[in-house]
A = this chain, B = another copy of it.
């Protein structure tokens, strides 16, 4: 599972495989059931380093038989609760977690141009936010941090286009 910004997309199968292996391990350890449907959805989500909409997933499922929204959303609920995927609030979309099982906030960088997404895990950011909240007497339970902008690749292309 290489870093999204540096993943050479012709070798991206590695990422999918790694994600599935990690998922299997996590489910074994936590006695969760990684059923065919759940594995399927997780695989679909990992097909790219981009967030995927619930109805995109549904559409794909429907090409291989009947399927309805609850099927997708229930599966997403499982994946979210088990920490295998995160939800991107600013886009109503879902993406695979790069560190399932590890305690982390799920902060992301997302490219406005190519939509590639990277989960960043900066302890400094987490601490700064905790400190800021603390100054207000606020008890932090969850930090949602979604940073949009330009990924390195698109940035370069923008430069070339001058």
Hey, which bits of chain A sit against chain B, CB under 8 A?
Answer: 3, 5, 89-90, 107, 109, 111-112, 118, 120, 122, 124-125, 128-129, 131-133, 136-152, 155
Contacts and interface: CB of A to CB of B under 8 A. Distances in A.
Given A125-B128, A128-B124, A118 B136 contact: yes
Contact of A145 (B5, B109, B138, B144): B144
A141 B110 CA distance: 10
A57 to B, nearest CB: 20
A149 B141 contact: yes
B124 A147 contact: no
Give the number of times this chain occurs in the complex, counting copies: 2
A20 to B, nearest CB: 25
Contacts of A144: 89-90, 144-148
A120 B148 contact: no
Which of A122, A137, A143 counts the most B-chain CB atoms under 10 A from its CB? A137
Given A89-B89, A120-B133, A151 B125 contact: no
B137 A5 contact: yes
Contacts of A90: 89, 144
B112 A136 contact: no
Contacts of A5: 136-138
Nearest to A141: B149
Nearest to A126: B128
A137 B122 contact: no
A77 B43 CA distance: 37
